Structure 1
């Protein structure tokens, strides 16, 4: 195995880690209107519970995307350039949504005003739904292929990206992240929020299983390899097991199996893509591959040494963070807002 193959796998691992970890972050934000419902004070307390489930980890989870983007730029600059120029609008929308989400989470408690908090909540909701959908659209188009000419330039239009396969990919990631987030909330909370999250996870499994199953089956039949059938089976069976585990209120195992389903799906996508990194729909000879899109061997060698030294440190630190903040949270642990207390008198 050469360094080009190694870095293709590493980029796949980085995006897999991002979708697993940021996936439940998105799910928590997507459920703010549902699990955060109630009268003003009750709704605010429930929404603070939801945000506290991801409070210690959400910004660390986003580092996986930054690292994946940096690795993509350094290891496969041609892939990076074609991807970001061709997918400029959807990637810009994802970036803007993530910025809005970051600001809303960080600034929500800075002003003690119910109207301000509601506006921040809508920023969190918007910043969670938009990436959850558009990441699926983007990756589905990468697997399907786009219009790339002999100069490695994307020559298609924005609406070319809105094809049926890509739209199904967007719906799939939104539903799976929503299910992943609901199970995570059930795992991390107690009391009424926990009970509502369990019920929501059961309901979400009904559309998530056939939609996700249809997407992975389409991917396998159109772009997969013989051995990737096992990934289709793992993803489908994992989602079915989640239904049973959620009904039995075994949230820890249910979360483990939503994680397995996401991992199997992302591995299926990258395995279907290899050895291409961006197929051309105009001429297969114009496709970007791990060979014609990569950096020099020296660059890849230096990056490999840096990754070998730093990656274990980052993984240990992030694992420690999750261990420290592993306790469940309930509404009884959330102090009342001064503004809401005054307003309720």
Structure 2
């Protein structure tokens, strides 16, 4: 079977590539492994993408979209990831928005979706806590009803882009006596209000993306409850399905792999090109095949979304396969580059601008964030294969 995009989709891909060639600086290879390395440029690109209607192409028109196909949106996501281009608030466009379209009220959709489509806001995700990571349902951040509001107290951690965010989607415990999956509610909160404190966390790649967020008597209007009270676990799980899906895994990996292959063609060791070493060439060929597999899993997920389906086990398949592939490519790159691969981007001797070193360290957490590979395999086993718990 041969998979092809439509003529319209291919035309859009060319248009997007031309736009990025024009807008990105000459010689652009990416601003780093984390979003927000240059926040002003991030926001500038976001506004330009929004003005073209590309951030939310597949959304309904009444919420700021253009009613385009999900495959068209996939083309956009794939090219943006491959070019390592800034401008997307994936927390808003990829995660919150489709969740609101399923679980949100009409008032919530009309309040929160258009600003995302216009590129005016940044969202972050308040899920993990210092004592609640993989066992997310054990979270202890409390929301207590007080008149027309909830009063939120607690701490979230590993909150990416919280230092830039305007709003946060936060899971809170609203019934401490209920079974842990049943006493959780999903709230939308303003990050700029009194009582919200953001503390930076610098990761081992020396990047600032993560943060700890402390809520101290933060008031959230009851109208910002998404879904039913104490049934927020199911809203949060829907969001995770959208978070785990995406062509970004394969597209970003493909770019890194292509750069590594070209490096092996251009450089020699002991009088022989690296690419002519059969161990290296076989490794790169195997990773190329796996990258295409990851890509096709993402295409299947996009097709499911176009059919109005919420990918579940498929998202877990794509996430586990894609993130483990990221680690495999980074590890292969470090092995091929040798000691030079350990040099940081600011070293004049670092090959590939230190990207392999950065990828190697950043990919350590890839199989942990958004649910560990073990959790993904449990989902695939129980919900996909029907195996007992």
TM exceeds 0.5? no
Q: TM-score range by the shorter chain?
A: under 0.3
| TM-score normalized with structure 2 length | 0.25
Comparing both structures, which one devotes a greater share of its residues to strand?
2
Q: TM-score, normalised by structure 1?
A: 0.28
- Structure (1 or 2) with the greater helix fraction: 1
Bigger relative contact order (CA 8 A; separation at least 6): 1
